[in-house]
Amino acid sequence: MSKDKKQEPTQGKELSEWQKRNQEYLQKKAEEEAQLAKEKAQAEANKKEVAKAPEDEETTLSEWQKQNREYLRKKAEEETKEEQESDLSEDTEAEETSDSNPEEQKESSEDQSSPENEEETTETEQVEEEDEESQEKSEETKVEEKRSKSKKKIAKPSIPSVHIWRAVTILIPSLLVLFFSIYLLTPYSTLKNIEVTGTVETNADQIKEASGIRDSDYTFDLLLNKDKHAEMIKSNHWIESASIHYQFPTNFTIQVKEYGIVAYYVSGEDHYPILSSGTVETSPVSLVSLPETYMSVLFNDEQQVKTLIEQLAEVSPEIKQAIKTIELAPSSVTSDLLKITMYDTDEVLVPLSELGKKLPYYSKIKPQLTVPSGIDMEVGIYSYSLTDKALEEARIKAKEEEKKKQEEEKKKQEEQGNQTQTQNQTTQQSQSR
């Protein structure tokens, strides 16, 4: 009755602009409440259907399906929480707008000072209270609807990590093989930059040729077989050791160490290097390239030269630098006797097989010698003056020459006697006739 009484004066008068807006708002609100009530009833029905699902299905589900169902439940709860937070933010905005409406009410109340306006304000307050209640109910229905929708949503099953790792272990090697195959088909696979260091008597072209490396060889193949190619470089008789070093991306360095020249085999005016390996170089060197002092060897037997180099390795560098020439001087006792002439004109007689053992004694005997001397190490070790020996050899030569002359004179006399006899015989035969 009170509401009817309050509405009677308003029916006789025209409504203000704000009252018209309020009536439209109330109508829309009533329609939204009815729709929310229907959705709420439908959500409750869906809940009941889900609750009535037989428990046997859970027993028949696999372990992975159970885990998937728990994951979906948790995800639905998280989504509902996020939606609640978004709804709360929307409610706060609606409250702010509702706060702005009372200001308009105050303005309209100030314009209308009659008791009819006071009744209209009380009606608006009741309407606002009803609106707040309807908003709370609508929030609850929205939350329930979202929950029911999240349950209805069927999330895609996640791929187990085991399958992911299996795919990775297959894909990565396959991709590597693919990229490597493409690389082998490109010209970059045979690109090589080779540098040779340590050469003195040889050159880079000779080393590359001995290594067996070709321009068409793959860079990857050379990287894997670099030790093999380094061993092939030793086929050059000048090379003592070789190694190949790689530097990314296509740089290779061949580092070699050559055999040293110990002596020179002299044949006429030609000089052939004798290496520390015992090998005699087949091509002679130019006289201009010879050092100031060097050791000359006057025999070239391969085995004897190797033995000489092995024996000289046990001799000190000072004694080797003092040697001028080495030649064979076999005696009736020693077939491999050597005659070594020093730069200071000293002469040493020593067997080739005992050179490394006996020749070092020369450094102890040398300070005791005052004149050019000869040192005989064939059986024992003793020294003698070369001048005396030269005089004695001269006397021996003179005696030998006298003997030769006497023998020649005897032969001439015998020949003359023979001739006279033959002449006498011929004369006698002619007379007898």
Q: Binning pLDDT at 50, 70 and 90, where does residue 136 land?
A: low
Q: What values do phi and psi take at 244, rounded to 5? A: -115, 125
Q: What is the mean pLDDT of residues 28-45?
A: 82
pLDDT one-digit tens code per residue, 237-265: 999 999 999 998 889 999 999 999 999 99
Q: How far is it, in rounded angstroms, from Cα 90 to Cα 167?
A: 46
Q: How far is it, in rounded angstroms, from Cα 249 to Cα 347?
A: 60
Asked whether residue 197 falls in the same domain as residue 314, the answer is no
The enclosing domain of 205 has a CATH number of: 3.10.20.310
Residue 237 belongs to a domain: yes
Residue 211 belongs to a domain: yes
For residue 95, pLDDT over 70 is answered with: no
The enclosing domain of 330 has a CATH number of: 3.40.50.10960
What is the per-residue DSSP string for 155-222?
A: PPPPPPHHHHHHHHHHHHHHHHHHHHHHHHHSGGGG--EEEEES-SSS-HHHHHHHHT--TTS-HHHH
Q: How far is it, in rounded angstroms, from Cα 262 to Cα 305?
A: 11
Which pLDDT score is estimated for 275? 94
Residue 345 belongs to a domain: yes
Asked whether residue 348 falls in the same domain as residue 284, the answer is yes
Residue 282 belongs to a domain: yes
Asked whether residue 251 falls in the same domain as residue 338, the answer is no
pLDDT one-digit tens code per residue, 325-370: 999 999 888 889 999 999 988 999 999 999 999 999 998 988 888 8
Residue 432 belongs to a domain: no
271: nearest Cα among 261, 257, 258: 261
Q: Give the number of other CB atoms < 10 A from CB of residue 217.
A: 15
Task: Give 201: exposed, middle or buried? Use CB within 10 Å, 0-12, 13-18, 19+.
Answer: middle
Asked whether residue 292 falls in the same domain as residue 201, the answer is no
Q: Which of 372, 389, 406 is the last residue of a domain?
A: 389
Which pLDDT score is estimated for 144? 66
HSE, side-chain direction, 13 A CA sphere, residue 245: 7
Q: Binning pLDDT at 50, 70 and 90, where does residue 119 land?
A: very low
Look at the block and give the residue holding tokens 């690109």.
191
**Tokens (6 digits) for 159:** 């791929």
80-94, 236-250, 270-284, 419-433, range with the lowest pLDDT: 80-94
| Chain Cα centroid distance, residue 323 | 50
pTM above 0.95, yes or no: no
* 347-351 vs 337-342, strand pairing mode: antiparallel
Asked whether residue 219 falls in the same domain as residue 290, the answer is no
Residues linked to residue 251 through DSSP beta bridges, in sequence order: 193, 247
How many structural domains comprise the chain?
A: 2
Asked whether residue 224 falls in the same domain as residue 321, the answer is no
Q: How far is it, in rounded angstroms, from Cα 288 to Cα 208?
A: 28
Residue 244 belongs to a domain: yes
Q: Binning pLDDT at 50, 70 and 90, where does residue 322 land?
A: very high
Asked whether residue 265 falls in the same domain as residue 369, the answer is yes
pLDDT one-digit tens code per residue, 197-229: 999 989 999 999 999 999 888 998 999 999 999
Asked whether residue 218 falls in the same domain as residue 311, the answer is no
Domain that includes residue 318, residue range: 261-389
pLDDT one-digit tens code per residue, 172-186: 999 999 988 898 888
Which residues in 223-308 belong to E strands, given as ranges? 239-247, 251-258, 261-267, 270-275, 296-297
Asked whether residue 251 falls in the same domain as residue 280, the answer is no
Q: Which of 241, 258, 275 is the last residue of a domain?
A: 258
231: nearest Cα among 214, 244, 245: 244
Per-residue exposure over 160-197, b if at least 16 CB sit within 10 Å of its own CB, e if not: eeeeeeeeeeeeeeeeeeeeeeeeeeeeebbeeebebe
Residue 2 belongs to a domain: no
CA-to-CA dists, residue 203 to 3, 184, 226, 228, angstroms: 121, 31, 20, 20
Asked whether residue 272 falls in the same domain as residue 244, the answer is no
Task: Give 407: exposed, middle or buried? Use CB within 10 Å, 0-12, 13-18, 19+.
Answer: exposed
Residues in the chain: 433
322: nearest Cα among 308, 305, 343: 343
Asked whether residue 250 falls in the same domain as residue 266, the answer is no
Q: Edge-to-edge strands of the sheet including 193-197?
A: 193-197, 251-258, 239-247
With a pLDDT cut of 90, the percent of the chain lying above it is 34
Residue 104 belongs to a domain: no
Asked whether residue 265 falls in the same domain as residue 382, the answer is yes
- More confident: 36 or 91: 36
Q: Which of 243, 258, 273 is the last residue of a domain?
A: 258
pLDDT one-digit tens code per residue, 13-36: 567 778 888 888 888 888 888 888
Q: Give the number of other CB atoms < 10 A from CB of residue 313.
A: 12
